[in-house]
Amino acid sequence: MAVTISRSFKDISLSFSRHPVTNDIVILKNEDAIKRSVINLVRTRLGERFFNNLLGTSVDKSLFEIQNSDITSFLEEEISNLLNNFEIRIKVKDITTESDPDSNDLNIRISYDIIGQPFPKQNIEFILQPTRI
């Protein structure tokens, strides 16, 4: 008799909103939990997480220099390495970045497959904007 192991992924929502029926914190499941994790990893700055200085990207430091194609290819490589090292639930298929020179925004598209699950290829698209602190 073959035993199949069902894997599901759960995470809490960072909005900390309450479920209307149970009054518990809203839970993200499966592909939504992984999608939120991928976005959080890309938006994390290097050195921002305690006890793990290697987790994160230097994307925020490069947003004012994104008109250069060398910078965008470097950022794509850096995001790919980050996801391959720290998000073991996915297999990255494609990462593309497009810059808007007028606003210094960086549009990031990530395509990946979830390992061990029959979900179709997942696509995420989000925009990173420079902020002045």
pTM of the model as a whole: 0.79
Domains of the chain with bracketed CATH: 10-128 (3.10.450.40)
Please give the pLDDT value at position 4: 46
Structure confidence by residue, pLDDT tens digits, 25-75: 888 888 888 899 999 898 888 888 888 888 888 777 766 665 666 677 888
Distance spanning both ends of the chain, measured CA to CA: 60
Q: Give the chain's radius of gyration (CA, Å).
A: 17
Contacts 24+ apart (CB under 8 A), 125-133: 126/39, 126/42, 128/42, 128/43, 128/59, 128/60, 128/63, 129/63, 129/103, 129/104, 129/105, 130/60, 130/63, 130/64, 130/104, 130/105
Structure confidence by residue, pLDDT tens digits, 80-107: 999 999 988 899 999 998 877 777 788 8
Please give the pLDDT value at position 123: 93
Please give the pLDDT value at position 68: 62
The rounded distance, in Å, linking the Cα atoms of 76 and 81 is 9
Please give the pLDDT value at position 93: 94
- Are 26 and 12 in contact, with CB atoms under 8 Å apart? yes
